[in-house]
Amino acid sequence: MTKRPAQPRLLADENTSHRFVSACARLLRDFPIVHIARWQDGSWLGLDDAALLMSCAEASLVLVAFDRATLPWHAGQVLRAGESHGGLILFRRTVRSANYGEQARLLTEFWFNESRAWDWMNRIVYLPKSP
């Protein structure tokens, strides 16, 4: 009997690389992350920020992305509109876009050591965390 893959709990936004997702899987097998281009046959690539955040809430997915101010701004707008988002994990700009190993290490350690049991609804975290 083949083992079913873990249900994704983290959705990597398009400004992260597939290589980052692969690096997570190399560090921890069955790490529950999927890239947005592979999720729902890529149909979420066309969603704007607000629609994506609300879709993530419905699917219980935490969105993982590089920090751009517009994304948390839209998260605030979603909340003000009485809706929810599924949670946001944002890489600070000190983390290089092409440093996939560092991104994967930060995320996997944070997820397994601290946050996988959290209620992620409407929560925003920046990685690396402030000292």
Partner 1 sequence: MTTLAALRILTFVHSVHTLEDMRSAYVSGRVPARYERLVTKQARAARTSKSDLVARYVIEKSLETEFPGISFRDSLSGREAYLTGHRVAVWEVVAVHKETQSVEKTASHFRWPRVLVKRVLAYAKAFPEEIHSARDEETGTASAAR
Q: Which is nearer to partner 1, 105 or 126 (CB)?
A: 126
Closest separation between CB of residue 2 and partner 1, Å? 26
Closest separation between CB of residue 77 and partner 1, Å? 10
What does 90-103 look like in DSSP terms, one character per residue? EE-TTS-TT-HHHH
Residue numbers of the site for partner 1 (CB under 8 A)? 13-15, 17-19, 36-37, 45-49, 52, 66-70, 72-73, 93, 96-98, 126, 130
Q: Which is nearer to partner 1, 27 or 37 (CB)?
A: 37
Closest separation between CB of residue 55 and partner 1, Å? 12
Q: How far is CA 124 from CA 6, 30, 76, 82, 101, in A?
A: 23, 24, 10, 17, 22
Look at phi and psi of residue 6 and say left if phi exceeds 0, alpha if psi is from -120 to 50, else beta.
Answer: beta
